[in-house]
Structure formats: structure tokens, C-alpha cells
Amino acid sequence: MAAVLSLRSSPSLPQCPAQVVFPPTPREDLPLGRTLALSAFAAAHGSCKAAKRAARLRRAAMWLGCLHGLAERLPQHSTVYLTGLSPDLEGEPCEVLGFDPSAKRWLLRFLHPRFENQSCQVPEQCFTFGYCVQPGAAALGGSAAPGGAAREAKRRPGLGRGLEAAEQLEQGQVIFEECPFLITADDVNEVCRAYFKMRAASGDSPGALDAFNRLSAGEHFSQEAVQRCEAQAAQVWQAATSRAASPLELRQIAEVLRRWEANRFLQGAGGAGRGRAGRYALFSWVSLLNHSCQPSAMLDSLSALQPEDGKSRVKALRGLAPGEAICINYGPPELLEWDVARRREYLQRQNGFTCRCPRCLTEAKAKPQGEEKSDLVSSVAECSYT
């Protein structure tokens, strides 16, 4: 590949090994979160002094303007990984600074301190997306969603958090709009990197970490889903350190993965789009929307990577009175045409719960006695419908 990489601020490129997922020898006397926050992000994301130099470089790069490449759309400050350039640079982490339309290349800054804050210009096919933390998009608490037309519903026994109408809503009305505070690739290592970056920055900017910790930790996941997250946590730990993990340390990582899996939404989809491969986003308010097989709202847009907009819009499918639940369809549009058994089977497999929305309960009761009993036995993990 000819002339695909152009470096700035240095005439020569240091030789470097391929990127390691996490450093292999974290300190023994630190808990998991602080260990990875200090070791992984001190090594991979630079020091405070480097951060100040990076700020100057970002200001110098502001002329690049729109972060919309030839086909790719990326939020500024996303973490990406170089690929296809050379063996020495394969997997090297970089920060997105902007897109140069004249050169048709992205301006990236190397994150490892050995590059001394060098930047480079590469075509978009020569990097892969990792994650992006946007603390400014995180809700800072309160009971009302943006715009005040929706609010968090009062909790009821056996049910989780949800949203309800705060005022009379008309059909087609935009209830609220929101940007995601976290976007990740569909990769558990990227999820953990993003989480520990939020932890490392929580002293100066706690918004993203607080918003993440307020989300449901997948309390209604099936045992199979819980075991899958625990196995993934063990894999992440093995990549991070050579020592054996304690049960507490594994539970910490597993909870992070369950929280991500329980609240993520696929980007660039025309609907909820949950459970398919791609880039996933977490929202403070959109992530609180519960599922219903007779939804009262829809996600009008999940194009959160569009720089000119960057918002997901929640629209009312019908008129809603104050206090009525705002729910969406987690599955594909055709899910609403399936019978109750097929809908429940899909939602259990893809989202980890047996749906007990009013429609499912009504249709299950109308079944023959044997089938109804089977459905009730399988509904131990309830949907957090409000």
C-alpha cells in the first residue's frame, strides 16, 4: 500500500511492537479497577504532560471541522487502532482528531507515550473503531429526561427502572433527543478499555462513569447469560495479567459486561436493533426505555455517529397520558407480528428476559392450559416493564 501513512511533528517513526490488549504485570497491591486504570491507560493513553500536549494538538486540528470521512463517521476523540500499514504499527491505538477533506485522510494522534504525541494522516480503511467516551452527553442526575416530556417511572416490586410520560403527548411527537455517552465496538476488550478510561477520568469528569453505574446490571439475565459474561470476564483478565483473578475481581468485570449488554443499542439501525454485531451505544435516558410487544414509542434515529446531529430521537407512536409507560420494541419490526411463544423465545435468547408486557400476558392466558403453564414456568426472568 503506497503512501498511506504521513507522520506529523517528527521526521522518523519509532519502531514499536504490536499492541498488547493490557499490560501483563499489573501491581499486586491494587484492586482491579485501579490496576487496569493505572497500568493500561498510563501505558496506552499517555501521561498528564502528554495530555496537555494533546490538547494543544487538538486545538491546532480544529480547522479540520466535520468528522465525516468518505464513508466513515466518527466522534472526535474516538480511540481507533491502526491496521494494514505495517507489522510494527498493527493494532497501535490512536485518538481521532479530525478529517482532512483535501487529503481525504483522517488525522490521528498516537496514544502511546513512546511516540511523543506524534500525529499521522491515514485513509479510513487503515484503522478500526474501538470506543468513544463522551462525558458531556451523560445525564447529571434528576428525574426528567431532556425536554421534560419524559421522566423516570416510580419503581414497583419486581420491576426495574423505566420511563413514563411527564405530560400529555401527541402521536408523532418527539418526546426527547439524546446523544450517547459511550460508543464501543462489539468487543468485550473495548468495553473494558472504555470502562477503565471512564474510571481513570472520574476525578475530573465523573459524568460518564456515574451514568454507566446508574444503568441496570442485567438483574434478569438468564443463568446462561450470566455464565457467558463470567467466562468473558475471565478472558479479559487473562489478557490483562499473568496472575489468577480473585472471585471479587472477576465479578467486577462480569458486572461491567452485563451492564453493557443489558443496555446497549446498535448504532446506525432503523430501530432498536439490539443484539446484532456492530457498534453499540449507551445512553443515560434511552437505555431506560423498556420493551413492549405493543410499543408506545420508537427510536426514530440511531445515527449517533453523525457529527451534524449525533442524537437518538424517541417519538410517540400514539397519544400518551401523563404517567403512561414509554416503551419500544427491542426486536426487529416483524417481531410485533409473531405469536407470543415466538416473541418470548426471541427476547429470551437475544435480550435475556421472558416478556411479560400486557400483550404477552393477555395472549398467554388465551392459550390452552398446558401451553400457558409452560409459558409461566419459563418466565422466571421477567421483563422490567413499567
Whether 355 contacts 333, CB under 8 Å = no
pLDDT of 59 > 80? The answer is no
- Say if residue 213 is in the same domain as residue 121: no
Across residues 275-298, what is the average pLDDT?
Answer: 85
Boundary residue ending a domain (92, 109, 131): 131
pLDDT tens-digit map of 185-216: 989 999 999 999 999 988 777 889 999 998 88
- 117 backbone φψ class: left, alpha, beta (φ>0; ψ -120 to 50): left
- Say if residue 161 is in the same domain as residue 306: yes
pLDDT more than 70, % of the chain: 69
Assigned C-alpha cell, 1: 500500500
pLDDT tens-digit map of 351-361: 777 888 999 99
- Say if residue 142 is in the same domain as residue 126: no
- Say if residue 34 is in the same domain as residue 95: yes
Distance separating alpha carbons of residues 191 and 304, to the nearest angstrom: 18
- pLDDT for 92 equals 95
Whether 351 contacts 368, CB under 8 Å = no
pLDDT of 344 > 60? The answer is yes
- Say if residue 68 is in the same domain as residue 157: no
- Say if residue 291 is in the same domain as residue 156: yes
- pLDDT for 195 equals 92
Give me the number of domains the chain comprises. 2
**Look-up of cell digits 438483574:** 219
Within-domain flag for 337:
no
- Say if residue 157 is in the same domain as residue 219: yes
- Say if residue 117 is in the same domain as residue 250: no
- Say if residue 207 is in the same domain as residue 78: no
Across residues 38-42, what is the average pLDDT?
Answer: 36
Within-domain flag for 283:
yes
User: Whole-model pTM?
Assistant: 0.74
Boundary residue ending a domain (131, 147, 169): 131
pLDDT tier for residue 368 given thresholds of 50, 70 and 90: low
Within-domain flag for 368:
no
Assigned C-alpha cell, 171: 402521536
Within-domain flag for 382:
no
pLDDT of 137 > 90? The answer is no
Q: CATH code at 261?
A: 3.90.1410.10
Across residues 234-250, what is the average pLDDT?
Answer: 81
Across residues 251-276, what is the average pLDDT?
Answer: 71
Within-domain flag for 346:
no
- Say if residue 289 is in the same domain as residue 226: yes
Within-domain flag for 191:
no
Q: Which of 78-87, 166-175, 217-226, 238-247 has the lowest mean pLDDT?
A: 217-226
Range of the domain at 36: 6-131
- Say if residue 46 is in the same domain as residue 119: yes
